[in-house]
């Protein structure tokens, strides 16, 4: 559902449609996402449109990509240092 919302706003019906779950089950899942602060709802008459609240996801993505770069770079650097250490007969 979050992947669908990442492409833009959707109604509750549109969100539940691709999944083999009942409409009440889809609604429960959407309410849970709203409580978690990941999804916000705009009510326009009888049409409820849902959208992704991107901030927590952006923060999550930024944390993961930043630390992945840090560790991948550092562990490659460790490989080069280990080659030197081993070649030098130390430790």
Partner 1 sequence: MIQDRRLLQLSVRRWYRARPDVVFRALTEPALLERWFRPSPDVTVKVADLDLRVGGRYRFTFHFPDDRTAAVGGEYRTIARPHLVVFTWTWEPPDPNAGIDTLVTIDLNEKDGGTELALTHTSFPTEEIMRQHERGWGAVLDSLRQLAGISSGEAAASD
41 binds partner 1 (CB under 8 A): no
Please select the residue that binds partner 1; options are 38, 42, 44, 46, rule is CB under 8 A.
Answer: 38
Count of residues interacting with partner 1 (CB under 8 A): 49
Tell me if the bond preceding 38 is cis, omega within 30° of 0. Answer: no
47 binds partner 1 (CB under 8 A): no
The CA-based dihedral angle spanning residues 13, 14, 20, 25, taken in that order and rounded to the nearest 10 degrees: -40
CB of 40 to partner 1, least distance (A): 10
* Angle at 31 (CA atoms; ends 18, 22), nearest 5 degrees: 40
74 binds partner 1 (CB under 8 A): yes
Question: Which three-class secondary structure state does DSSP give residue 27?
Answer: helix
CB atoms closer than 10 angstroms to residue 15:
20
71 binds partner 1 (CB under 8 A): yes
Binding positions for partner 1, rule: CB under 8 A: 1-3, 5-9, 32-33, 35-38, 51-58, 60-64, 66-86, 91
């Amino acid at each position: 559902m979050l992947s669908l919302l990442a492409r833009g706003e959707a109604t509750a019906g549109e969100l539940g449609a691709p999944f083999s779950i009942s409409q009440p089950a889809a609604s429960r899942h959407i309410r849970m996402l709203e409580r978690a602060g990941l999804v916000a709802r705009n009510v326009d008459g009888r049409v409820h449109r849902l959208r992704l609240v991107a901030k927590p996801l952006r923060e999550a993505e930024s944390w993961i990509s930043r630390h992945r770069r840090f560790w991948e770079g550092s562990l490659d650097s460790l490989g080069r240092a280990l080659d030197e250490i081993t070649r030098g007969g130390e430790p």
